[in-house]
Structure 1
Amino acid sequence: MKIDFWFEFGSTYSYPVAMKIEKMVTEQGGHLEWKPFLLGPIFSNQGWHDSPFNIYPEKGKYMWRDLERICEADGLNYKKPTSFPRNGLKAARIACLFSGEKWVPEFIRSVYAANFELDLDISLEEILKKCLPFSDEESFTKIKRANTSLAKQMLKENTDQAKKKGIFGAPTFMVGDEIFWGGDRLHAAIQWAKNNQ
């Protein structure tokens, strides 16, 4: 059983999913692939130049309250970010470049916690350094590598792949060619994977 989890660090609804999906999938004997990508280019193709939660105020108001309820139900700490959406570009490059490393899922969760629990600016290298499970020197080395052309290209390829697959938002779960969009579809994606792989 394999599930691809397509996520964006600035995505509100990706936060609670990122904190629980690995445990849920592995408990079912499945394999999880973390797929960071950027929503900006996808939204731009749809004619949006900001988050739809900012473009449509009533939708945004609902989303923040909904996220608060979800986090409360999941037992997650939550603090509404003072800036939204935050720039997760460097974090996404790190997640792409080191995708095969065992520490990456914990790094991803730490970045989400920094953004949605601690209200920290995840675009800043000093914040990302604290999210990495290494010494200061090694962390800065990894951040520096995430600024290379290879890391940039890997993230671009992920985003292009998301477009080709028809992904239009985050979080999105893919089981083969089947798309499940939204945190509330996680259980359906897992069930589909169990029944069809």
Structure 2
Amino acid sequence: MAEAGSETPDAAPVLDVWFEFASTYSYPAVVRIGPLAAAAGVELRFRPLLLGPIFKAQGWDTSPFNLYPAKGRYMWRDLARVCADLGLPLTRPPVFPAHTMLAARVALVGLGAAADQGKRAAGWGEAFCVAVYRAAFGEGRDVADAAVLADILASLGVDPGPVLTAAGSAAIKAKLRQETEEAARRDIFGSPSFVTAGGELFWGNDRLEQALAWAKRTA
């Protein structure tokens, strides 16, 4: 029997946050999820992926918002309303969807994915992810540009050179492939997606609060 005062507190419930940096609705979701998760007592695991291979498996060669113009027009108007309600700036990026492979690899470096085998790492990774979304959709910057990513890293007090070198390593490239394949195995089809420890899947910025509540309730 444990001595009084020696009990280990229960671990916080965990929610996996799957996202693609080119995803429009992931912008408000990733920007606002941190404080909401902290208030709910839910631990987050940021998991960047590439939607391109997942879309390709469905026979799409680009975003469905480009394939179906009416849907795309609605999305941009709807996103403008969402951002206005949240007080977030919105500027369309120069290319949509952006090529986000390098940004995802840099995020994996910051999140410590290759080193800690999937455990959440403290550090600049999550702040980088938020900053990329703010740059892409808040400021309309081209986050496919290594110079833009370097500027974001520098703004976080991170030396860009070693990070960009690490992002080109075989280990990080393999990790991004593995994460994208894992997302497909979990039937993730869009971004943002939230998955509880029990495997419950929620899709979309408008399901963020429900995902946090479910993660906490079923922990």
Normalised to the residue count of structure 1, the TM-score between the two structures is: 0.96
Q: How far apart, CA to CA, are the structure 2 residues paired with 1:51 and 1:87?
A: 12
Q: How far apart, CA to CA, are the structure 1 residues paired with 2:131 and 2:109?
A: 17
The answer to whether residue 157 in structure 2 is matched with residue 134 in structure 1 is yes
Greater shift, 13-22 or 90-99, is seen at 90-99
Which among 178, 181, 185 is matched to residue 200 of structure 2? 178
Match of 2:182, SS state, is helix
Q: 1:121 matched to which residue of 2?
A: 142
Match of 2:70, SS state, is helix
8 Å Cα contact 2:21-2:104 kept in structure 1: yes
Which among 106, 111, 117 is matched to residue 132 of structure 2? 111
The answer to whether residue 104 in structure 2 is matched with residue 92 in structure 1 is yes
Q: 2:136 corresponds to which letter in structure 1? A: N
Q: 2:32 matched to which residue of 1?
A: 20
Q: How far apart, CA to CA, are the structure 1 residues paired with 2:194 and 2:144?
A: 25
Q: How far apart, CA to CA, are the structure 2 residues paired with 1:195 and 1:184?
A: 19
Q: 2:105 corresponds to which letter in structure 1? A: R
Shift of 1:59: 0.2
User: Where do 5+ consecutive residues of structure 2 fail to align?
Assistant: 1-12, 112-120
8 Å Cα contact 1:97-1:154 kept in structure 2: no
Instruction: Show structure 1 runs of 4+ deviating over 2 A.
Output: none
8 Å Cα contact 2:195-2:201 kept in structure 1: yes
> What are the superposed Cα offsets for residues 52-92 of structure 1, whole Å, 9 maximum, x if unpaired?
00000000000000000000011101112231001111110
Q: 1:82 matched to which residue of 2?
A: 94
Shift of 1:190: 1.0
Q: How far apart, CA to CA, are the structure 1 residues paired with 2:131 and 2:164?
A: 15
8 Å Cα contact 2:108-2:125 kept in structure 1: no
Q: How far apart, CA to CA, are the structure 2 residues paired with 1:77 and 1:55?
A: 26
- Give the root-mean-square deviation of aligned CA atoms: 1.0
Q: 2:215 matched to which residue of 1?
A: 193
Shift of 1:26: 1.0
Q: 1:40 matched to which residue of 2?
A: 52
8 Å Cα contact 1:14-1:170 kept in structure 2: yes
Q: 1:109 corresponds to which letter in structure 2? A: V
Q: 1:143 matched to which residue of 2?
A: 164
Q: How far apart, CA to CA, are the structure 2 residues paired with 1:160 and 1:131?
A: 28
Shift of 1:150: 0.9
Q: How far apart, CA to CA, are the structure 1 residues paired with 2:71 and 2:63?
A: 11
> Max radius of gyration: which structure?
2
Shift of 1:110: 1.0
Q: How far apart, CA to CA, are the structure 2 residues paired with 1:37 and 1:56?
A: 23
8 Å Cα contact 2:94-2:140 kept in structure 1: yes
The number of residues matched between the two structures is: 195
